[in-house]
Amino acid sequence: MVIETKSQEPFRLKDANGQTQTFDRTSADLKHFTGRFIQENQQFSKQFFHVYSCRLEELRPVLVENAHKKWGKDVKILKLAEVENFENERCAIIGTLFKHQLWKPSILRELNEDAQEAGLIPEKHENYTSDKDIPFLEDEMLRIKIVGPKVEISDVVTGIVVALLGKKLEDGTFEVEDWCYPGCVPKSPPKGPISEGKILLVSGLDLAHYSDTLALGLFTEWITGMAGSLPAQEETSSIVNLIIIGNSVKATSSDSHTTTKGLMTNRALESAETSEIASAVKKLDELLSDILEHCHVTLMPGQHDPTNLMLPQKPINRFMLQSAHKYETFKGAHNPWLGSIGGRIIAGSSGQPIEDIMRVCGERNTKSPLEWLETTLEWRHYCPTAPDTLPSYPYHDKDLFIMQECPDIYFVGNTDKFESKIFKGENGAEVRLISVPKFSSTSTAVVLDLKSLDTSPIYFGNN
């Protein structure tokens, strides 16, 4: 499904002398590919095995081709069931990575009474890594442990489809000599000219806790053309779309509700939290209404916003944002989101996929969110850890999170700091990667030029 928005009327700004001057708000075609991550027939009775099976089936031909290019056509590519007959013989295998982690959450283990009595349920940790983590590669039938100096346990992420070059050892393990990933999707030439204009990205407004800050007021005045010098106001008029990337209502979840506090205490806490969320939603609706008078807005939900938890997250319900939904310039989007603005394909998430990858890999892996974002392009998957440690719908016909096109702009929201770079793939693809910081803690938004793909942070703090 494609939804196109209409261009806006000019808005009036004042120069330093108080003289009224009119700038035309730059416009660009806006399309939301709303059906990309949605499976019409959702069957929750299906096992998650089907997700991995569909993922492996679709990416296997890509890996066969890439493996032949990298290692030559003389290398045998075997199924795991065939490796048994090629002990100590160089070959390649294709499958899905799986990392056994003791600290990884398990609902089955939590519900197991015997495990509870034996104290086998681990405490909650900020990440899932431990010295007992074990890497495997599995296909539709078997699983084999992978070993060797080329296997860095902190880089192994469950859910990645990969080809491995090496040999099966006498102890039944597979010693890895080299790795091969699906790689970035080949980039198609643009279907038309790229529009002039800029987009503005902001994430983590957290209106439940930071709604009355000076930074938010400055941000609102700036985007609506009510603040800054005349050149700054003229630059503001070139913004064709504001993308708000999740956690607008809240940026953290509450862990204060425990049965040990007593029934009445928990009810009081729940009532206070409900009131806090309702107040923040109202503030978000008012904020959006102010901005929508002057600019297109795309609103993505985040992990802690009032919508479904499983990915893809649905837009915040229209009845919560009744004033905003009266504007044609407003569009509630899914998370992850994929769309097109001014001829540029844009994709990104509110942060959960990258945050979960970092949780799986732990503190030993020092890659930044931007570096992991780049790596997901090589993996050709938006949410590789779903459904293992990242909640997602149980797709059974097709893994809809596999990348089908190469985006021009690829972002992750709710990070600790701004970072940006140009990714250059082997097939000549160039992608602007952006790490969008939490506005509530950094007072920073990101401006991106559609033509040049240049990015720059804009700071709304008071120092």
Q: pLDDT tens-digit profile of 86-130? A: 989 999 999 999 999 988 876 555 555 555 555 555 566 678 888
Q: What is the pLDDT of residue 269?
A: 56
Q: Assign 3-class secondary structure to the chain.
A: CCCECCCCCCEEEECCCCCEEEECCCCCCEEECCCCCCCCCCCCCCCCHHHHHHHHHHHHHHHHHHHHHHHCCCCCEECHHHHHHCECCCEEEEEEEEEECCCCCCHHHHHCHHHHHHCCCCCCCCCCCCCCCEEEEECCCCEEEEECCCCCHHHCCCCCEEEEEEEECCCCCEEEEEEECCCCCCCCCCCCCCCCCEEEEEECCCHHHHCCCHHHHHHHHHHCCCCCCHHHHHHHCCEEEEEEECCCCCCCCCCCCCHHHCHHHHHHHHHHHHHHHHHHHHHHHHHHHHHHCCCCEEEECCCCCCCCCCECECCCCCCCCCCHHHCCCEEECCECEEEEECCEEEEEECCHHHHHHHHHHCCCCCCCHHHHHHHHHHHCECCCCCCCCCCECCCCCCCCCECCCCCCEEEEEEECCCEEEEEECCCCCEEEEEEEEEHHHHCEEEEEECCCCCEEEEECCCC
CA pseudo-torsion sign 361, 362, 368, 369: positive
Structure tokens at 407: 């985006």
How do 77-78 and 91-100 pair as beta strands? parallel
Q: What is the pLDDT of residue 7?
A: 43
Q: Which of 330, 376, 332 is nearest to 352 (CA)?
A: 376
Ranges of residues in the chain with a pLDDT under 70 are: 1-25, 41-47, 106-125, 228-229, 231-232, 254-272, 462-463
Residue with the two structure tokens 């997700």:
51
Q: What is the pLDDT of residue 4?
A: 40
- What are the φ and ψ backbone dihedral angles of 241, each rounded to 5 degrees? -160, 140
Q: What is the pLDDT of residue 291?
A: 95
Strand order of the sheet with strand 444-449? Answer: 330-332, 297-300, 239-245, 198-202, 444-449, 455-459
Cis peptide before 384 (omega within 30 of 0): no
Q: What is the pLDDT of residue 272?
A: 67
Mind listing the pLDDT tens digit for each residue in 281-324? Answer: 999 999 999 999 989 999 999 999 999 999 999 999 999 999 99
Go through 83-96 and write b for each residue having 16 or more CB atoms within 10 A of its CB, e for each that does not. beeeeeeebbbbbb
Structure tokens at 251: 């940026």
What are the residue boundaries of the structural domains of the chain, listed by start? Answer: 11-32+187-459, 49-180
Q: What is the pLDDT of residue 71?
A: 97
Structure tokens at 369: 């969110």
Q: What is the pLDDT of residue 324?
A: 96
Q: What is the pLDDT of residue 462?
A: 67
CA dist., res. 297 & res. 200, Å (int): 9
Q: What is the pLDDT of residue 1?
A: 37
CATH fold, domain 11-32+187-459, is: Purple Acid Phosphatase; chain A, domain 2 (3.60.21)
On whether the 49-180 domain is CATH 3.40.50.720, my answer is no
